[in-house]
Amino acid sequence: MSFDGTEGGSISLTAGAALTAEYRKQNPGETKGHFFGKDILQDILDQEGCMGIRMYYGLDQDGNKELVLVGADANENDLTSLVADLSLPCPGVCGNANSLNS
């Protein structure tokens, strides 16, 4: 398979809420999500040959969940010249309560 930039798709809020509710149920008190600003996301997407963003799970030195982002090309290879982390975790920065985070 090769990437063409159309991978992934939208789901309903109801479906997303069910997924995040199940995660919160199985992982009480854990990180619920991460926020990345548009500048770093656009920088990744603007790399030559980038077809999308791959997200890796990680743990920091304190055992907190992290996401590590890289671009990926059409051949499914990571574009490792730009690697993103330093997201803002929720809880911490969650915004108003809604069906995805509460």
Q: What is the pLDDT of residues 88-100, one digit of tens each?
A: 989 988 999 999 9
pTM of this prediction exceeds 0.85: yes
Whether 14 maps to a domain, the answer reads: no
Whether 65 maps to a domain, the answer reads: yes
Q: What is the C-alpha to C-alpha distance for residues 75 and 48, in angstroms, rounded to an integer?
A: 13
Q: Which domain holds residue 47?
A: 31-90
- Structural domain total, the chain: 1
Residue 86 predicted with pLDDT over 90: no
Residues in CB range of 23: below 8 A, 6 or more apart: 32
Whether 84 maps to a domain, the answer reads: yes
Whether 23 maps to a domain, the answer reads: no
Long-range contacts of 25-33 (CB under 8 A, 24+ apart): 30/65, 31/64, 31/65, 31/89, 31/90, 31/91, 32/90, 32/91, 32/94, 32/101, 33/89, 33/90, 33/94, 33/100, 33/101
Whether 95 maps to a domain, the answer reads: no
Whether 81 maps to a domain, the answer reads: yes
Whether 53 maps to a domain, the answer reads: yes
Whether 25 maps to a domain, the answer reads: no
